[in-house]
Amino acid sequence: MTDTTLLLEEMTWPEVERALADGFTTVVVAAGAVEQHGPHLPLLVDAARGDRLALEVARRLGNALVAPTIRVGCSEHHMGFPGTLSLRPETFTAVCVDYAASLSRHGFRTICFIPSHGGNFAPLAEMHDDLCSAAGPGCEVRTYTDLHAFVALWEGAVGELAPDLVHRVGGHADIAESSEMLCIRPDLVRDELAVSGTVVAFDDSVAERIFRDGFRSVTPNGVLGDARGMSREIGDLCIARAADGIAAALRDA
């Protein structure tokens, strides 16, 4: 199958039926967000990145289709910034559970949930048993839920191309994410507004403060890391390394 026919929502039902019969029984579901991404990136960053990341992961897994991205996620910690939308954890869980139930009923045997938004990692981990129950016997649910490992994939990619800029990877609207958006939706990147935010190593203490006190308590402009130095070259490698790492983790799950 070509990439243009991997997207479930762009296929007809006979095409989906044939794909399943041909062994395309794995499906990838990205869980994104609509939330602030600093002064230089639009609210749709995590949803758009989810679209691209899910496709790249599906390519690497093989015999996999791509379900529609869940565009709004758990973004309560970003509600201090205008425009952010957020689902309650129970609402997000209900949507993911219904995805799993629907997809398994059609004959998908492996359902892979991949978050493209930091706030969705922990909820996906917590709902794993519910997802498995919804999918039922004969269908395996795999979730990628290691946020720190994901940020490390970005650090590795930036370090390969620009070792002197790797400290600018912070995990949100930073050099890595901004570079990815230059590849995905360059028309929406206000590169002239790219700035530094709070530059700090993303660790458990930073994550705990963000989810407890809100993102604005850590970075007033909404950037964690530094967006300056973004490039399409960095973006391409960040996308590739992220997809490589997630696909490998899903195979080992």
In the predicted model, what is the mean pLDDT of the chain? 96
The answer to whether the beta carbons of residues 223 and 36 sit under 8 Å apart is: no
Copy the structure tokens of residue 107: 């004959």
In angstroms, what CA-CA distances link 177 with 117, 144, 225, 233? 11, 18, 10, 12
Taking the whole predicted model, whether its pTM rises above 0.85 is answered as: yes
pLDDT of residue 133: 98
Domains of the chain, each with CATH number or no CATH:
3-146+243-252 (3.40.50.10310), 148-241 (no CATH)
For residue 218, list its beta bridge partners: none
With cut-offs at 50, 70 and 90, classify the pLDDT of residue 251. Answer: very high
Q: Report, as an integer, the average pLDDT of 139-164.
A: 97
Q: Residues 87, 95, 11, CA angle at the centre, nearest 5°?
A: 125
